[in-house]
Structure 1
Amino acid sequence: MTTPKLSLSVQYAIAAVGLPTRQQFRIWLKTALQRNVRVVLRIVDENEGRALNKQFRGKNYATNVLTFTYIDNSNLSEINYDLNEDSVKLTDDIDFIYGDIVICAPVTAQEAREQQKELQAHYAHLIIHAALHLQGYDHENTQDATAMEGLEVLLLDKLGYPDPYLTTPSVKNLS
């Protein structure tokens, strides 16, 4: 299997403490990709995050991550994860998947604090989650959510990050 190509443009529309570097985003995305992807990743504030969430999802609050795919992914073949090969396999003839990922930095930081997670681990999780959405995964029903979450956990483990769905904090409480 050839290594998927990634064309990544990162837009930092906000200056915030703890933002990952372009290289970190690249590593996280490449870990989850089994398709060639061209993606713009935009890091935004709460106002822009809220506006985009309202415009595209009809929800008037900033969410942690939004993913926009610019192909008809209803025609994507089944995505299968082979535990023996540690790889996602898509069997179709699409050369590139195009997409945008929007991460709201303040929401991400707030969630990490509230869930007692390391900020970089939370960013890695959101990027892996978004990358899977780009490739056709969703979590609209229990079966799909279970499959997607299982793959997220596996990929994060490959990167050395803890299971984001565990209730035990991944960082020590400093208070």
Structure 2
Amino acid sequence: MADLVELVVEDDRWAGLDLPALAERAARAALAELGLPPEGFLIALLAADDARIAALNADFRGKPQPTNVLSWPSEERGAAPGERPDLPEPGPADDPEELGDIALAWETCAREAAEAGKPLPEHLSHLVVHAVLHLLGYDHQHDADAELMEGIEVQALARMGFEDPY
């Protein structure tokens, strides 16, 4: 079975977690909720620190501060407010469809998990599910979009045995 998530770790603090397995499981759960086969897709995940995420956030969003997770879809897949986006077709196993890139910030993610009283792996699983949905064209710009996206997140997290984060 090929990996859905290709991981690049830039900060040694991530080594204390089994991030490859965690990210793979969360990404697969997100795709499963949408009926997509993980074998036909590929996602790149950067595990970095707040400084790196702040620089990326400044470069790509004009916001020079860290955030928990960033995502860059390989192509625009948005939909009209409140509607589901058109989902991509999977590629063959030896040439999977690239969905895009995700980046996580160590300090921000760890702080948020502690503040919420949640285990870090559970919080990270939620963030990966959330980011995968962004790669697939889901967003939370409008209330109807947020409701749709959050519903899928809750179902994917339940699939993994986690409670509703909202």
The TM-score by the shorter chain falls in which range?
Answer: 0.7 to 0.9
Aligned equivalent of 2:115: 114
Match for residue 156 of structure 1? 157
Question: Per the alignment, do residues 22 and 100 of structure 1 end up closer, same or farther by CA in structure 2, a change over 3 Å counting?
Answer: same
Gaps of 5+ in 2: 92-96
When normalised by structure 1's length, the TM-score is 0.77
2:124 is the counterpart of 1:127: no
Please identify which structure carries the higher strand content. 1
For 1:15, which of 9, 12, 15 is the aligned residue? 12
Q: Which has the larger radius of gyration?
A: 1
One-letter identity of the residue aligned with 2:126: H
Partner of 2:68: 64
In the alignment, which residue of structure 1 is the partner of 2:146? 145
More helix by share: 2
Q: State the Cα RMSD in Å.
A: 2.3
TM score, norm. by length of structure 2: 0.81
Structure 1: unaligned runs, 5 residues or longer: 81-89, 166-175
Q: What is the aligned partner in structure 1 of residue 94 from structure 2?
A: none
Which structure exhibits the higher relative contact order, with contacts defined as CA atoms closer than 8 Å and separated by 6 or more residues? Answer: 2
Which residue of structure 2 aligns with residue 45 of structure 1? 49
Cα deviation for residue 71 of structure 1 reads 1.4
CA contact (8 A) 1:97 1:134 kept: no
Once the two structures are TM-superposed, the CA of residue 74 in structure 1 deviates from its matched residue by: 3.8
- Number of equivalent positions: 151
Secondary structure, counterpart of 1:137 in structure 2: coil
CA distance, structure 2, for counterparts of residue 131 and residue 49 of structure 1: 17
